[in-house]
Amino acid sequence: MTRDLDVVLVGATGFTGALAAEHLARTAPADLRWALAGRSAEKLSALRDRLAAIEPRTADVELVVVESHDVPALRALAERSRVVIAAVGPYLEHGDPLVAACAAAGTDYVDLTGEPEFVDRTYLRHHATAVASGARIVHSCGFDSVPHDLGALFTVRQLPTHDRPVRLRGVVRAEGGVSGGTFASLLGAASRIPQMRAAARERAAAEPAPADGRRSRQVTLRPGRDRLLGYWLLPLPAVDQQIIARSGAALPEYGPDFSYSHAAGIRHAPLLVGALAGIAGTVAAAQVGPVRRFLAGRVPSGTGPTDDVRSRSTFTVDLVAEAGPDRVHARVSGMDPYDLSGIALAESALCLALDDNPPSAGQVTTAQAMGTALTARLERAGVRFEVVSRTPG
């Protein structure tokens, strides 16, 4: 099948989609064949004009008008493309037809989703098709979960041996605001906790265990103080745990018995109490339809933190791996989380299109599909991966 596009960015005019488009305009190879896709021809044209001001050669980037539920049009677009970038959340509402099109066409796919239910449902519906076609379906290629997933891989590779059980915890701190798409996805997930748990059970029943007898799992921390890091820990029921546990199941570097726990790091105990109360209040409010819609309207779709806010924002992810007497403390750090999401999404697509990656097919994680190739790309873009300390056995 002839592919006349290397990369197509669907949902390009959304907040994070536009950040990914800007990164492609600045850094993509001159001979990359890429296109912008979305619902509005007018908005796509305005975005292309903005990109041309950054890099004049993008003035002739192709524009494709397509709706997120137009199955024939999505299939035709997937069949033209080597890699599809999806920035069309909330993904539970808008994402499945594009995943289906890519899985059927043998087209690699990356997205920004932080929605565990969507990740599990697409595995159940499309993983087998993607394995058969050779497509790589790679979810969560933004702040969820690239720095955590690649940071986990970086950290466990610092251990002196990989034949012992490994306990890894990740503690994230991030500054800045929230986009309308992120907020809508969070509210949607909070309103569907029973459905999310049901999807997780279905996937667990269908997904085969590692053939070599290894095991990999998520562990939920209790709120408390991490003495090594000096933070109070707020356990996060984020997609990151799920992604990293699946990387642990797929890759031998994680050892014969791997577990991962995930939390936000908070400096002061009163802030931890307030954060717990805030999460509980948001989950409760999300159960009531009118309240959920009112809250979603407070952060409109397509909006996000201003350039000024993002220029002053950063993130850090501390990762602590323990294997017997050995301990490694590593850190991933960098720019504003939304800027990182745009960069990571674009670089993930370029990595799949252009780099020499490990063989894989089906629904796979960033560590499994790209690993150190994507880490190297992010380092060139300004993300830092470093070892903070080692405690040898």
Residues 127 and 189 occupy one common structural domain: no
Residues 333 and 345 occupy one common structural domain: no
Collapsing DSSP states into helix, strand and coil, what is residue 227? coil
Instruction: Please compute the mean of the pLDDT values over residues 241-255 and round it to a whole number.
Output: 95
- Non-local CB neighbours of 376 within 8 Å, separated by 6+ positions: none
Residues 231 and 320 occupy one common structural domain: yes
Residue of 245 and 210 predicted with greater confidence? 245
Q: CATH number, domain at 75?
A: 3.40.50.720
Residues 82 and 184 occupy one common structural domain: no
Residues 163 and 137 occupy one common structural domain: no
Chain centroid to CA 168: 19
> Using one digit for the tens of pLDDT, what is the confidence trace for 19-31?
999 999 999 999 9
> Using one digit for the tens of pLDDT, what is the confidence trace for 346-356?
999 999 999 99
Q: Encoding tokens for residue 391?
A: 């405690």
For the chain, what is the domain count?
2
pLDDT for the residue 170: 96
Q: Encoding tokens for residue 258?
A: 């791997």
Indicate if the pLDDT at residue 265 is higher than 50. yes
Contact 116, 212 (CB under 8 A): no
Rg (CA), the chain: 20
Residues 283 and 326 occupy one common structural domain: yes
Q: Is the peptide bond preceding residue 145 cis, with omega within 30 degrees of 0?
A: yes
β-partners of residue 257 are 215
pLDDT for the residue 223: 84
Residues 222 and 282 occupy one common structural domain: yes
Residues 31 and 134 occupy one common structural domain: yes
Instruction: Please compute the mean of the pLDDT values over residues 209-226 and round it to a whole number.
Output: 88
> Using one digit for the tens of pLDDT, what is the confidence trace for 135-194?
999 999 999 999 999 999 999 999 998 899 999 999 999 877 766 666 666 666 667 788
* CA-closest candidate to residue 10, choices 72, 82, 64, 60: 64
**Residue found by looking up tokens 């300390």 in the block:** 389
Residues 130 and 42 occupy one common structural domain: yes
Residues 251 and 359 occupy one common structural domain: no
Cα 96 to Cα 137: distance, rounded to the nearest angstrom: 12
Residues 306 and 258 occupy one common structural domain: yes
Helix (H) or strand (E) holding 386: strand 384-391
Residues 153 and 41 occupy one common structural domain: no
pLDDT for the residue 218: 92
Domain that holds residue 112: 5-143+341-377
* CA-closest candidate to residue 352, choices 336, 333, 366: 366
